[in-house]
Structure 1
Amino acid sequence: MIADQISILLVEDDDLDADIVRRSLSKQKITNPLVRARDGLEALKILRGSESQEGLKRPYLILLDLNMPRMSGVEFLDEIRQDEQLRESMIFVLSTLPDAPGLLEGHEKEITGYLTKGAFSETFVNHLNSLKP
């Protein structure tokens, strides 16, 4: 059983893809709280919080799309890895592109893994379970 208190931050601009991810998580019986950001800037605001709202509490993991407006997934990775408070975040890159690893050249060690949108494997579930407090 997966610890329900571990939040999942989905950083995805496309509504259809976000629904596919939600259904895939449900199919794997992953019922953790899911928070969605539509781009990297919104995700950073959710993680860091604001004057009126606290940031997303740990433990959490991030499902990150690469192609987004305003701040792409690669730009988000650059920003998060420079932030002392966020740099240790567990990040899975979501993609439907077979060349996604090539898009992340130089970031290989900064992500936990790659996931195909709609296909959540036992490896992903094991990583989620590893975050149990």
Structure 2
Amino acid sequence: MSTVYSVLIVDDDADDREIIRDAFQANYNSTDFIFIENGEKLMEYLENCETLPALIMLDLNMPGKDGREALKELKMHSDFRQIPTIVFTTSSSNKDRQMSYDLGANCFITKPDTFNKLVEITRSIGKLWLSSN
């Protein structure tokens, strides 16, 4: 029996959330996806969930509490800091990359321009953070 992993996709763009999910599903069938629109809703979800997710995919630029604020809060919280968190954003700024790592991100990835590249990226992400080996 395979393990079912849950992945939180935190992005204000509904199309991006669905494309990320589709790319993961091309590689990993045993994954549940939870869509969250901003950092405030992310923290509310984590405070109330029964089981912590295996992985958080976090966009930086969102209305309300953005990814930067959410990442800072997430990594300061003793119950949530161990959740692997990947900043997955349109930004390719070195400043955003360094700030993300300084705040505790496990990885910083600029969103690719094709679905095939996204499938490759999600395959690599899964090997690192969604495998039971």
Query: Is there any run of 5+ residues in structure 2 with no aligned partner, and where?
Result: none
CA contact (8 A) 2:86 2:105 kept: yes
Runs of 4+ in 1 over 6 A off after TM superposition: none
Distance 1:92 1:30 in 2: 20
- Number of matched pairs: 125
In structure 2, relative to structure 1, the CA distance for the partners of 1:93 and 1:105 (3 Å cut) is: same
Query: What RMSD in Å do the two structures reach over aligned CA positions?
Result: 2.4
Query: Is there any run of 5+ residues in structure 1 with no aligned partner, and where?
Result: 50-54
In structure 2, relative to structure 1, the CA distance for the partners of 1:113 and 1:38 (3 Å cut) is: same
| Same amino acid, percent of matched pairs | 22
1:62-113 deviation per Cα after TM superposition (whole angstroms, max 9, x unaligned): 00010001101000011111211111111011112322x4214343151121
Distance 1:56 1:97 in 2: 32
Question: Is the helix fraction higher in 1 or 2?
Answer: 2
Distance 2:28 2:123 in 1: 12
Distance 1:124 1:12 in 2: 17
- TM-score normalized by the length of structure 2: 0.80
- TM-score normalized by the length of structure 1: 0.80
